[in-house]
Structure 1
Amino acid sequence: MTPSHFETLIIGGGIGGLATALALAQTGRPVQLVEQASAFTEIGAGLQIGPNATRALDRLGLLDELSAVAVHPHSAIVRDALTGEVLTALDFGTAFRARYGYPYLVAHRSDVLSILLHACEREPLVTLENNRTVQTVADTERGAVISFADGDEYTADLVVGADGIKSRVRQLLDISEPVFSGHIAYRGAIDIDQVRTDISTDDVVLWIGPGIHLMQYPVRRGELYNQVAVYESPRYAAGRDDWGHREEFDEMFTPACESVRNAVAQIDASRAWPVFDRDPISTWSTAHTVLIGDAAHAMLQYLGQGACQALEDALSLSRSLAAFPDDLTRAFKTYEGARVPITSKCQTVARPWGRTWHTDDPALLALRNRVFRMRAADDYTDLDWLYAERPSDLGPLRT
């Protein structure tokens, strides 16, 4: 029979929740993780893993395993979605690795999740439960109380909310709703031999244009090609109800060049994904609960940092709790001090960055393209804040 009280309970078994469970266990803390789904799965196909995240995976002991199934792209190429012109590039080669100490990888989300899941299954201090739907979370003087849909109730000294953008745990701090960006995504992966393009499939390729963008890159050892097409819905902006359908998607990508049109024609458009984020908040904790990942700082996809920041959260929280095992308040404030500034910047930078990709303002568009054309492929100056190791990034978790 499963006990009803735990030292540490994690709600949510996505990439962030599993990474946190593993990181905490590697510091000697027993962890119970509950997930509402019947199996551990990830929605979506591709995941960009910047050097800040490959650094985190290395410190969890998983980078070599991921490297074997991921793709190491040569570069990121930005192209004009209407003309096909190359606007700029980012070299992921020797200079990039020397600057940040770790590579840039692209991988299938399910591969990353599987690696984390199997690591947790091998870890004796981690217990995983499926089919656990949380109804409420309360914080009391003696600890947190978690009520489930089946009537069960758990208590815990510490609850980690890794339960996503609609987090139940976050409601202890913030009852606002996620913010809809007006952007709609269609996404999926196809076999690499089905790709119809003359563009290199070894790179991360981003096509940007008025109201649209298309992201492409290989995953799973180069066997699959991930594609994500996003557009800003003019019908939603106009207050109409008939937005987010295939007809609108086709209308928005009709002006694009042939390469983009061919690519989006291969994306499964049977399901649209409205894109949401949240406004930053200054604290992620109560007396006995703390947030990580999208529960803490859901962000738009324009920096490719959603899962990356969750991986950094996992290590930072585990270090803070290991440093102050008997003082949750101090541990939480140490964690927030390290993580809130960088994640808040990611949230606030991603919004205008997306508008810059999608601009139809002639002056801004001309200025953007001119700046892009002028930068060198090995100019990493604007990425240091995101990818460089920070003072709070300490060494490996295991001693």
Structure 2
Amino acid sequence: MIHALVAGGGIGGLATALALATAGHRVTVLERQDAFTEIGAGIQIAPNGFHALDRLGVGHAVRERAVLVDELRLMDAVTGERLTAVPVTARYRRRFGNPYAVVHRSDLHTPLLDACRTDDRIRLLPGAGLVHHTQDPAHVTATTADGRTHTGDLLIGADGIRSTVRARLLDDGPPHPTGHTIYRTLVPIADVPRHLRSNAVTLWAGPGCHVIHYTVAAGTRLNLAAVLDDGATEAVSGQPAPRATVLARFPDLAPTPRALLELGRTWRRWVLCDRDPADTWTRGRVTLLGDAAHPMLQYAAQGACQALEDAVTLGALLTHAAPDDIPARLTRYDTTRRDRTARIQLFSRRMGTDLFHPAGPHARARNNRLRPLTEDALHHRLAWLHTPQPPPHP
């Protein structure tokens, strides 16, 4: 049995703890917040994410909280025209082996947390944010903000896009603002007129902007987000935004997306950040996972799914591992996951430019490419992204 230290008690960190405990190991999760909670709004879960959740033993619990959608719908935000829609019902589910669903972040985090709390091999330490780590050939020692030290056989940095573990491991500076500002809100579904409700993930694509919406929290809330390509250069996270400011920043929307934005009462603002793909995530007994390893823009809706894939891959590779095996197994985890996640990072950037935000002739070219695509053709284009990834043999 090995003892793993996991920095970060979010979705990726808890999934990693479960995966390693299932592999027979002892895990200590170091979380900087005083409680294990998940803030934020909606998350989309594709079949590859559900496949990972099933391997972790929490797929059923997440499905019970999720909204299984019927289609992924792309609309023109200026004309109101329907551009295309990807059906994600029976044929899609047969092809990929799982549904496409949306959840509130807490509806994914809570089942993972509950499973960790019932596993004797997992120790959860809130108020213990990692501030420093060292390693020698046999061990890793983590120092937390409360002054305690924790020693284990390996350390996994699952501490987000501004990862403390990554800063020491790679020393590659802060994440890069992308020049896109996102405004988010949740609207009680009772406040949404019936003609604006649908069982779909609907994206309204406009010149340099888009609006996306879908129901979460078992259908009781509308998750609503509006993104503007405004060249923002300063990272902002969760800053309150006046409703009037949000509405003024999106003046040229068609009536339906405009009516949806007007439903929002309490808005918060983020400036989206990401990183270029890294050449490695691993040094000796320390590695990275999820946003700490490969932060990606939300345009491919794969951030959570890729963290879950990371976790089950790491768990599979560390099955039956002894302490002396760890550096080689972590290197294999790195090489197994890095190409796929790098491809998705770069693909997510291109989606923002080519699919969500084009203007003028570029928007017309996008529309002409999408209109002829059949259901099978659309599913084929998503296959590399949504197909569940088989875990490697240790």
Q: Give the alignment's TM-score, normalised by structure 2.
A: 0.92
Q: How does 1:293-308 map to 2 (within 5 A)?
A: 293-308=290-305
Residues 166 and 288 in structure 2, CA contact (< 8 A), matched pair in contact too: yes
**Displacement, 1:269?**
5.2
**Displacement, 1:312?**
0.5
Residues 323 and 331 in structure 1, CA contact (< 8 A), matched pair in contact too: no
Cα distance in 2 for residues equivalent to 1:248 and 1:231: 12
**Displacement, 1:358?**
4.3
Residues 240 and 267 in structure 2, CA contact (< 8 A), matched pair in contact too: no
Q: Structure 1 unaligned runs (5+)?
A: 1-5, 238-242
Deviations 1:108-166 (A, max 9, x none): 11011111000001111111010112211222334222122222222221011000001
Deviations 1:188-241 (A, max 9, x none): 22211111362442111111101111111111221111111111115x37xxxx
Secondary structure of the equivalent of 1:221? coil
Counterpart AA for 1:388:
T
Cα distance in 2 for residues equivalent to 1:357 and 1:179: 21
Q: Give the alignment's TM-score, normalised by structure 1.
A: 0.91
**Superposition RMSD on alpha carbons, in Å?**
2.2
Residues 26 and 121 in structure 2, CA contact (< 8 A), matched pair in contact too: yes
**Displacement, 1:244?**
10
The residue that corresponds to 1:271 in the other structure is 268
Secondary structure of the equivalent of 1:227? strand
Deviations 1:26-63 (A, max 9, x none): 11101010101111122211110000001111111111
The residue that corresponds to 1:387 in the other structure is 386
**Displacement, 1:267?**
2.7
Cα distance in 2 for residues equivalent to 1:114 and 1:359: 34
Residues 162 and 292 in structure 1, CA contact (< 8 A), matched pair in contact too: yes
**Displacement, 1:245?**
6.2
Cα distance in 1 for residues equivalent to 2:214 and 2:241: 25
Residues 138 and 144 in structure 1, CA contact (< 8 A), matched pair in contact too: yes
The residue that corresponds to 2:86 in the other structure is 90
Q: Structure 2 unaligned runs (5+)?
A: 234-238
Cα distance in 2 for residues equivalent to 1:359 and 1:230: 9
The residue that corresponds to 1:116 in the other structure is 112
Q: Is 2:7 the counterpart of 1:11?
A: yes
Counterpart AA for 1:36:
R
Cα distance in 1 for residues equivalent to 2:180 and 2:266: 15
Identity of aligned residues (%): 38
Q: Is 2:340 the counterpart of 1:342?
A: yes
Cα distance in 2 for residues equivalent to 1:126 and 1:259: 48
Q: Is 2:57 the counterpart of 1:58?
A: no
Q: Is 2:329 the counterpart of 1:357?
A: no
Q: How does 1:1-399 map to 2 (within 5 A)?
A: 7-171=3-167, 172-196=169-193, 198-234=195-231, 236=232, 246=242, 249-268=246-265, 270-322=267-319, 324-325=321-322, 326-379=324-377, 380-390=379-389, 392-393=390-391
The residue that corresponds to 1:240 in the other structure is none
Residues 127 and 146 in structure 2, CA contact (< 8 A), matched pair in contact too: no
User: Number of paired residues?
Assistant: 385
